[in-house]
Amino acid sequence: GVVSWTIDVLEPGARHTELIGLVADAEGTVTNVVQVSAYEFDFTPDNNRSEIEVPVIPAADLQVVATASPDPLPLGEALFYEVAVTNAGPNPATAIVLQVVLPADVAVESVEPELPLERDDQGLVSLALGQLPAASGIEILLGVRPVDFGPMPHQVAVAAAEFDPVPEPNTVAWETLVLPAADLALLGP
């Protein structure tokens, strides 16, 4: 489409700026052309037109919600993360990776559903979720076993190949209290 407007008077050396917001309906490249003209004679007409190509990239608004239970957790027991990842759209999300930051010595015991899992030496667990259509989600149950008592920090984050217009709900962080285990016995006469 064409957008046009009139500037009544533009003094020599002055500038005028117009801001136009557009929404593309498909990904690809959009070429924007701006052209000016005046009633008066222009001694340098070669600078009256400008053209720029703008890439239009798909957007997918991912969100993550996560909890860990039980909390508090007795040392030696399994801790379960319940993680929900949703794609609010407007486009499908691809190459989605869920990352869980754990203490380096915490063992991962289970993942449901079964997903490709990688873990580095620092405790970063990466799960490849694949793709999610717009307005859909997936729930993941991750079982781990802490080896030390005290506050255990958690951080869960999700990302995809697409631009995320609202990145704030992509990361959640909290702590679970791991209690020392006690081996008690009742002795009697």
Q: Where are the alpha helices (DSSP H) in the chain?
A: none
Listed residue (8, 183, 22, 165) closest to 93, CA to CA? 165
Tokens, residue 11: 């003094």
Residue 26, pLDDT score: 81
Residue 51, pLDDT score: 93
d(C-alpha 117, C-alpha 97), whole Å: 10
Residue 151, pLDDT score: 95
Domains along the chain?
Answer: 60-179 (2.60.40.1510)
The 3 state secondary structure assigned to 45-73 is: HHHCEEEEEEEECCEEEEEEEEEEECCCE
Residue 93, pLDDT score: 98
Mean pLDDT by 10 residues, the chain (189 residues): 88 89 84 90 91 91 97 94 97 97 92 94 94 98 94 96 95 95 75
d(C-alpha 182, C-alpha 74), whole Å: 9
Residue 21 per-residue DSSP state: -
